[in-house]
Structure 1
Amino acid sequence: MNRLMASRGLLQIFCALLLVIVIMFIANYIVYKNSISGIYEKVTQNNRLVVQNIIQSFDSSFATVNNLIFSVHGLPYDPAAEDKTIDMAKVYTLQEHLARLASSIDYVEDIIVFYDGQELAVTAKGTSDFSVLFDKKYKHDTYTPNYWKMFMNAKHALTFFPIADFAVSTDGLTRRSQQLMVVMDGNKVRLSNKNVMVLLNAEKLLKQIDLKSMIPGASLLVLDANRNVVLSTDPKQEPGELLNEVYFSPEKEATLTRKNVEYHFYKSEYNDFIYINKVPYQFQNINSVGNANYLIMMSAIICAVLLSAFLSVYLYRPVKDILKLFGGGQLKGNDFRKIYSGIVKVQTENETLKEQIRFADQELRRSLFLQMLDGYTHTRELEMQLQPVYEFFFPERQFVMAAVQIKPPVEGDSRQEPRVEAITAMLEDALGEAGRVAVFYTGGLQFTVMVGISQPSGRRAVLDKLESWMKRAAKEELAGFVLWAGLSRLYESKVSSCQEAYQDLQNGRDYRNIDSACAVVDLENIRYVPAIQFSFEKMEKLSNTLLSGKTDEALSLLENLFEENAERGVHHYQFAHLAKSLFFHLMKPNEQGAADSKESLQLEMAFCRRVDQAYSRAEVMEALKEIVRFIGNKRLQEGKSKLNPEFINQYIELHYMENLYLDHMAELLNTSPKYFSNYFKKTFGVGYVDYLNKVRLSHAREFLRHSEMSVAEIGEKTGYLNASTFTTTFKKYYGISPSEFRKKTVG
């Protein structure tokens, strides 16, 4: 026994097991001292801090909304109640301000401003009729347009309505359910003539506040200053008569216990909102649980000590035998550390040796394969090197060769390139069912595959498997990358055939059909197309159209020219030749100096490289379209510099009485009428003619109210050619004639 105890190995085993016992004892003791009631008390204390943080988040959000409403009241354009007219230019300005305010707060869905006696509602997303807004866009069975009007007519303070499900429509046709909280500005003290409503996105608001951080099983009820429910995470929770029994401390907190539930009450210092946090009450029979835990702990410790002593003696001899295998049985020291070090050393040496052998074998085969493809006369030395691996390259009487190339969708794409090993494994798995496969990486994410085939019909199986893999990889593993693959004809299994098959694949890239929908280019089905459609008359027309600034028309001509050749089934190299010819023809008239020549050279290099590397007709067409747009934008650059909304608005306001035809404005701004018309509608949200009529008629109404001029004189003064045109236009926009308008407003 003394000899055994003198050995460190036995002591190491016993001490290791004893350490496990000590850890178990400490863990059980901590659990015992911190019983369930103590743990629960700490959790509830943390929950109070969490709820207080949630209340601060609510107060901060409500304060932000209040400040937002105050900012809206300070915005310009606030018509008097007796003035029923609407200045749309100022309304659009107000709408732009609302859009900027709404975008500054993430959880604000919309801001709505309307005025007493007017049906117009101005929102952050546009203008609308008030009734249509709440009947179509924000629909709710209770909160109807009449409800909001009645509420606004009654005296009220700033009100937060409970979260409710609204049927929201953005296009007037489809609806989606969305939870919104409506905030209505108070009218007891009016800051302006505006009535302001703010719609809050409940999902974003609650996400910001993070109610999930409360203790599991807890809920939160939010009441406003009038004890109306604003938010409840538990639909069954009702304040009932609880609030009548609550007396808030100076810290504005209180607590009540009912059965197995504890209620914590908090009153906000910001707006007197009341927050009720409902949490489950602590567990019962804590003492019995603690005593049982103590008994279990002591029994486990006694059993663990006895088991440790028995296992120490039982495991001692096997440990010494294992140590001898690593050459350390007679040495003093830590036996387990020596065993571990020996195992790690052997594993490391084995893995390193396997990796070296595998890598050397791969590189040897890849080197031999590239030598077979180089086209030079094969030496006897190469044949001798091929003998040990000849069956690997030519396992069957015949073979086919496939090429697969992968590239990012655009140059400079930040997408991580796929690993070569992963692509190699996928190709081996995909084509392995059709025959014995050998995959070689030839650089630039290009892979060459040799597939041994026993019967000529096996080539069809290889083609089907390759097409299936290409379609799946384009959607899954290599989604977003551009893939190209080709399959050679069937060849006899010999070294000289490899170079012929590889040359087939190279020719397949140039002679493939540019508009083919097949995932894999089958070299047996390629048919030569002798000519392409190359009309100099159409090229000249395209160049002249582009020089005249008609970019859209030039793009249409370009598409027609490409479509004619695509229908002929031309090859890739023919399509690339057509694109390059068009490029040189279009660029030549735009070179004006040395700077332009340098820029053109850079464009030419980038364009030719992009066309040569293109995989499809769409890529070639897109490259040429970018050149067409570049030239068109360059032609219109000087005219576009004057397309300033403020300048256009000011010019119309000062010259509305003149003949401001569309052609006149386009000439003034050095652009085309069509471009100016599209730009105006996109910028101002209304057509140019409608906008001009509204400006003219707005001034005409002022003349009708405050002057003695006749209707014909007012029409002429506001830019209309005759009284008939003025009267017709006025009635179209306002529903009554100028004379009737004057009688109603003046008489």
Structure 2
Amino acid sequence: MKRLLQNQGMIQIFLAMLVVIGTMLVSMYAIYRISISSIYEKVTQNNSLVVKSLIQSYDNQFRTINNLIHSIHGLPYNFETGEFGRMDMTGVYKMQDQMATLVSSIDYIEEAVVFYDNLDIAITSTGTSNLSLILDYKYEHKRFNTNYWRTFMNSDNSLKIFAGERYNITNVNMMKVPKKLIVVAGGNKVRMSSKNILIYIDEAAFLKHVNQGGMIPGSSLAVLDQNEQLIFSTEDGFDIGSILEQVSSNEKSLTKGNYEYHMYRSNFNEFYYIEKVPYQFSNISSVGKSNRIIMVTAVLGAVLLSILLSIYLYRPMKRIMSQLGGRHSGNDFKKILSGIIHLQIENSEIKKQLQAAENEAKRGVLLQAIDEFASSSEQDPAFNRYNAEFFIYRLFVMVVVQWRSPGENQARSLEHMTECLQSALREKQMMASVYYEKDLQFIVLISIREVKERDRLSQNLNEVLLRLEQDELTGYSARASISKAYASELANCRQAYSNAVQALEYRLVSTTSKVLDAGKINGDWNMHYPFDKVEKLSNYILNRQVKEGKQIISEIIGNAVERNVHHYQLIHIAETMFYFMLRHAGNAAKDNEELMKLERAFHAAASHSFDGNDVESMLHDAAVRIAKYIGSSQQEASKLNPTYISQYIELNYMRNLYLDHIAEVTETSPKYFSSYFKKTFGVNYVEYLNKVRLSHARELLQNTNYSVSEVGEKTGYLNSSTFTTTFKKYYGISPSEYRKQQIS
């Protein structure tokens, strides 16, 4: 035995095996240190930031609903009965139209209902009806019926949110469809108006509106009002009562069973949010103990096995070593090396996962920092932790980069776009960090030592964007804005973000630069809005003269581009033109779901438009679709509809269109037609006819050599005196003076 121990070959084998054992032990210990418990700690830290971001999102939605109720209270309509005992239905219809505009902007609202203490009428965004038909039949519920809501509204109450419950909703086919709704009842402790307001919210759509994908699997969130009454929960059967008995007030925690419960209180409406998260992972302590036992057993067994193998392999290894001349490269050593490499790869993957979680947490902190409604008191710990990682030098600028996608076939992943932009900026020696915000918009934080370094950033960033458009991100188009320089504190990110975004909104439409300097943006209000051309566009679309309508669109947009207005001003012009076209389609529609989709698509395209060509193209597309919808929705069976009446007046305005004549054409009496016309169009028949005639008269005065009396005759006026008087009444000057102004 002594001779064997003194043999150098056997000692080398034994020492080699001990090296392998030591390497395995170090690797196993490193994996154990960053295993389940370590990962869980990182994930829970990230989950806390995600939950606070969710709470902020929910607060924003409740704020939106509260603002909607205030807006409805502010609608200036009084519906007392008139001298013949009938309500002022003109005001009712106007209020309904404005409610429809307010409600359509919030996609998770099912309906808004307004009623009064002493009236049986209910006004909604889709029409008016008897109050009982709305509350007892359309939104049927055993408890929440008409009597309940009248009693509730007559009592002294603050704004109240009722927990989601199943309602039987009567659809357009007169079928009962169950749906879970949340009801918000407007408060009356301080009367803003005589209106009683109920907001019906689709709970499923409301929950989908806030992305909860970032939460730990198995966790959930419950929302309670200021009286600790449950409003809704992301988990069915969430036992709130037992938790509230042990947890109350602001941000307290409780461990119960396999879960931890954290309570937060909103700064906006004092609502309570209870987060339920798994308490570590199942059997984490027993798993850790088992891992240690396995490691100790493995080490002892490996040492014993090394001794036995060294003795067993002594003679064969000696013979092999002598035959190989003292060199050794056996397969056993390769297998051991392969196992070590495999462990290293797994370790690297775990580190990547931790780094991804860390980056997401930093992104969440930055997004909260630029949120104007975020509460700084909740963010202070996170700010202190990440402040040094966001900034390297004492100053920073924020860059907002917006990309236009080339289409789904050429789309790149957000991770790829972030890496490309990050690498390109680092190649230019910029100390930059890139974070994705939303809608292909990225936020870049660039640290600088002195203010004068900012002057070179615009040119360098322009070169970076051009290279990316030509190489890694072919097909994409980019634009960016650089904020002013600020001290390196997260608290300044909100102002820097506002500064950079404002530069993008105030960019001139004919600018060719990809990078805008927020410090050089100036306001300019050289905007012109040709109401006569827009009115003509509306009539062309109504009559489905799409080619002529497109020509007017191109003229108006071209004029705005020539004036070099700000981009947000161009969007305002485009949206006004869109609604002028859309109003006729809305009058002809029975089911306006398609028009609502078109409206949402138009606003989305407008918010992502890059230049005047984009705006002109989306208006052309809207004109085609609206004209097609009007054509498919015309009611040929009845002449008493807005589309037919508007089209008849547009085609026959030069004739003597007396009230008796138009009533005969629509097969009604003059009195009934006059009442119907005012309710439908918002003005009386004569005023509408004068506007159509004078619109054509202005065009003839501008573009022809007809005399004033000839223009009057061609536009339907019996004599020059009537034409001149009417023209001066609407425009403040005579036709002759108007012609002189246009020539000069």
- Bigger relative contact order (CA 8 A; separation at least 6): 2
TM over 0.5: no
TM (norm. structure 2) is 0.39
- Structure 1 or 2, whichever has the larger Rg, is 1
